[in-house]
């Protein structure tokens, strides 16, 4: 097919907000791709295409972001994976857990992020880690943290109510 021989492609002055790299994979001879003056939405949904474009050295100035506001006017050569990250989505299956004094408590959350994110649990402004031990009110407590599809923190031997925040 003749499209495979295409070397130069001009996509400037359109209304592209995002493109998928799979559109360009068959264009094995592509050496130049101009895309300026499009209203590019620079977020995590553009990340894979941007990575592909930069890895194949097809970026050309002055391709720049139109949105979100924090990236408006930023040229693509100044972007990073972190700048294209979307805020993580956090869901708590049980936002409130009540236990009796002396019972174990397990708090869970589900986090979806692109690109991946680091999750930490915080109690009274201090991050807790696996096997962290504390001594609240004279009773020792141990924390177990699990990651996977559902992240959870478990406090053994709770003697009082505590507030935990997912960061």
As to burial, measured by CB atoms within 10 angstroms (0-12 exposed, 13-18 middle, 19+ buried), residue 141 is buried
* CATH 2.60.40.10 segments of the chain: 89-166
* CATH 3.80.10.10 segments of the chain: 2-78
DSSP 14-70: S--S---GGGTTT-TT--EEE--SS-EE-STTTHHHHHHHHHTT---TT-BEEESGG
77-129 pLDDT, tens digit each: 999 999 998 888 888 777 777 777 767 777 777 777 766 667 777 777 777 77
Q: 89-166 domain in CATH 2.60.40.10?
A: yes
- Greater confidence, 33 or 95? 33
Say how many C-beta atoms besides its own lie within 10 A of residue 160's C-beta: 9
CATH code of domain 2-78: 3.80.10.10
* Residue 137: DSSP 8-state: T
Assess contact for 167 and 122: CB atoms under 8 A: yes
- Residue 164: per-residue pLDDT: 47
Residue 4's φ and ψ, nearest 5 degrees, are -65, -20
């Amino acid at each position: 097919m003749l499209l495979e021989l295409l070397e130069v492609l001009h996509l400037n002055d359109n209304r592209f907000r995002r493109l998928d790299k799979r559109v360009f994979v068959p264009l094995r001879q592509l050496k130049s791709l101009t895309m300026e003056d499009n209203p590019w939405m620079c977020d995590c949904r553009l990340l894979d295409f941007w990575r592909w474009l930069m890895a194949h050295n097809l970026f050309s100035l002055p391709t720049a972001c139109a949105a979100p506001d924090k990236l408006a006017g930023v040229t693509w050569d100044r972007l990073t994976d972190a700048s294209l990250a979307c805020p993580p989505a956090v869901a708590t299956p049980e936002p409130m857990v009540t236990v009796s004094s002396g019972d174990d408590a397990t708090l869970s959350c589900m986090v979806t992020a692109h690109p991946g994110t680091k999750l930490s649990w915080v109690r009274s402004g201090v991050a807790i880690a696996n096997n962290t031990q504390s001594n609240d009110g004279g009773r020792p407590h141990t924390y177990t943290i699990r990651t996977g599809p559902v992240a959870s923190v478990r406090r053994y031997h709770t003697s009082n109510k505590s507030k935990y925040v997912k960061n």
